[in-house]
Structure 1
Amino acid sequence: MATNYLMRNEDLVRKSKDEVLLRCLGKTEYMKVMGETHKGICGAHQGGRKMCWLIRRYGYFWPTMLKDCINYSKGCEACQRHGPIQQAPSVPMNPVVKPWPFRGWAMDLIGKIYPASGQQHCFIIVATDYFTKWLEAKPIKTTTSQAIITFIEE
C-alpha cells in the first residue's frame, strides 16, 4: 500500500487507480471539507456516497472516507427534517373504535435514532389508547424487555 502514497510539496498524497494524485487529509481538515461539500455555499445536502464521490473529484482522500461521509450525511439535521418522506400506500383509513378506555391500545418503537441524544437515548417507545387517543412517549437507551416492562408499569 505504501507505493500508492508519496510526499509532494510538503503534503502527503495518494495515487488513485486512474493515476490522479489526491491530497490526504487529517481529521480536522476532512471534517471541514465534508461540511463545505455537504452544506457549504455550493453544497446540495448530497447523500454519503455522492458526497464521497464529490470529495474525491475535488482531489481529497482519507482512508475512512466513505464511512465518514455516510455518517455525516445521516447526522445532518436539515436532511433529517426536510428529507424525502416515506410514502405509505394510499388505502382508506379505518378508525379503530373502542367502547371504553384501555379496551384497546397499541405500542410501537421509533428508532434507532441517529445521532443519539445527550443522554444516549436512541429509541422512543410510544403507547396510544384507542378510545381517548391519549399518547404516552418516552425516550429509552435500549430495547430490552425490562425497559418495555418499566414503561408499561409507569
Structure 2
Amino acid sequence: MIEEVHVGTCRPHMNGFVLAKKILRTGYYRMTIESDCSKFVQKCHKCQIHGDLIKVPPTELNAMTSPWPFTAWGMDVIGPIEPAASNKHHFILVAIDYFTMWVEVASYASVTKKVVADFVCNNIICRFGIPESIITDNGANLNNHLMKEMCAQFRITHRNSTAYRPQMNGAVEAANKKIKKIL
C-alpha cells in the first residue's frame, strides 16, 4: 500500500509524513505507519536523487564573480522532457545572469550546435549586450566549434564547470529545478 500511494497517481514521491497522512485518509491504519513511510521514502531512489537537500552541511560563502548586470551568464539544457510539448519540443535551453538572476528560457525539438549559437546570439547578445563570460557544463552541444567561433568573434570568455559536479554551475541548476517544478 505504501508503494502504491508513494509512486501512484496521487501526487507521487511525497515525504514520509505526508505519505502516512494520505494512507490514513484512505482508511488504512497501522500502528507504525509513520515510521514505515519514513523508512520507505528514505530508500526511494528517485526521492534521494531529486529531493531537496535540507541537511546539507554549511559551506563557506563566496564573493559573486559578476561585478555588474549581464556580464556573466550560465547555460544548461533540460531534457528530454516526456511527454513532449504541444509543439513537439523535448528540450529547454536555460541561461541565467549571475548578477541579477534573470533567466532566459527557450524550448526546442532538439538542441544542436546551431541552436545553441543562435540562442546565445538572439537571446543574450542582441537583448543584453556582449557578456564578459559564459559558463556551461561539458555537454557536446554547448561546447562546439560554432560556440568557440562566436565567443572568439565577440571576445567572450567561455568556461566549463567541473565534470560530474553540477553544483559548480549552481545558479543554472537552481533555475532548472524551479523550471522542472513549474512543469
State TM-score, norm by structure 1.
Answer: 0.44
Q: What's the TM-score once normalised by structure 2's chain length?
A: 0.37
Higher relative contact order (CA 8 A, sep 6+): 2
Q: Which has the larger radius of gyration?
A: 1
Higher fraction of strand: 1
